[in-house]
Structure 1
Amino acid sequence: MIDAYGDGGFRLSGEWHAGSLLIVADHAQPWPVTSLADLSVESLNPVFAAGRAEVEFLLLGVGLRNAQPLRSLREALLIAGIGLEFMDTPAAAKLYNVLTSEGRRLACALIAV
């Protein structure tokens, strides 16, 4: 569960994680993406490696303001059979908690704000 966000990081289950965060199969890891301009297909390799069996869709928090990711990324996810929901990071952090409590199979990529 994401307890808090802001100040350049996230608190998950009471533990502070500085910087952006990638969560795949309930495993949180640092993510080197600091802005939507840094986002690439390669930056999401752990999501693609998990595959459709583990990841129904990617929940992407793109920063303070909602913006559409690059077409190449959207197409790569489509080809892999992984859905995409993108929104500002605060909304994505809140939605992550709801969706995981429902048992949804998702990956979550959050650009720190």
Structure 2
Amino acid sequence: MQINDMPFEDAVPIDGYGPNFFRVNGEVHEGAMLLIGPTPAAWGGYDDAASLLALAERVDFILFGTGPEMAHIPAALRSQLDAAGIGAEVMATPTACRSYNILASEGRRIAVALLPV
């Protein structure tokens, strides 16, 4: 099997995750995290819609890592995202991390909002 490096031009990859932390570009970030491009930031969870809606002109959709298992995001949050023209894809956090890395390496206009495992 041949392994190829993925180019990250305007983003940084998620290197790893564990109980209540994420490692991005070699740095550990505790708790829920929002990542767009090269900038990881703390995220206040589903009650922090403002930080997600502020991305409206920068992203086409947001991947949501909902913890160790896939779960729905609150209907009110989904409605706000829809009204702002932001797509939302939900999946378990490990899957969201892998999906983000692939899509970001392709230069997609995405963000990932992650709840810890």
Q: Which amino acid aligns with 1:17?
A: H
Larger radius of gyration: 2
The answer to which structure has the higher helix fraction is 1
* CA contact 1:24–1:47 (8 Å) conserved in 2: no
3-state secondary structure, aligned to 1:110: strand
Equivalent residue in structure 2 for 1:94, among 69, 90, 98 = 98
Separation of aligned partners in 1, 2:15 and 2:37:
18
User: Partner residue of 2:7?
Assistant: none
User: Partner residue of 1:3?
Assistant: 15
Unaligned stretches of 5+ residues in structure 1: 34-38
Map 1:12-23 → 2, pairs under 5 A: 12-23=24-35
- Report the Cα offset of residue 88 of structure 1: 0.4
Equivalent residue in structure 2 for 1:44, among 42, 49, 72 = 49
- Alignment identity in percent? 41
Deviating above 6 A after TM superposition, structure 1's stretches of 4 or more consecutive aligned residues are none
Separation of aligned partners in 2, 1:47 and 1:103:
19
Map 1:51-70 → 2, pairs under 5 A: 51=56, 53-70=57-74
- Report the Cα offset of residue 25 of structure 1: 4.2
TM-score normalised over the length of structure 1: 0.86
Separation of aligned partners in 1, 2:110 and 2:55:
10
Q: Which amino acid aligns with 1:27?
A: T
3-state secondary structure, aligned to 1:50: coil
User: Partner residue of 1:106?
Assistant: 110
Separation of aligned partners in 2, 1:112 and 1:105:
23
Alignment length, in residue pairs? 105
Over the aligned positions, Cα root-mean-square deviation in angstroms equals 1.2
- Report the Cα offset of residue 76 of structure 1: 0.8
Q: Which amino acid aligns with 1:21?
A: M
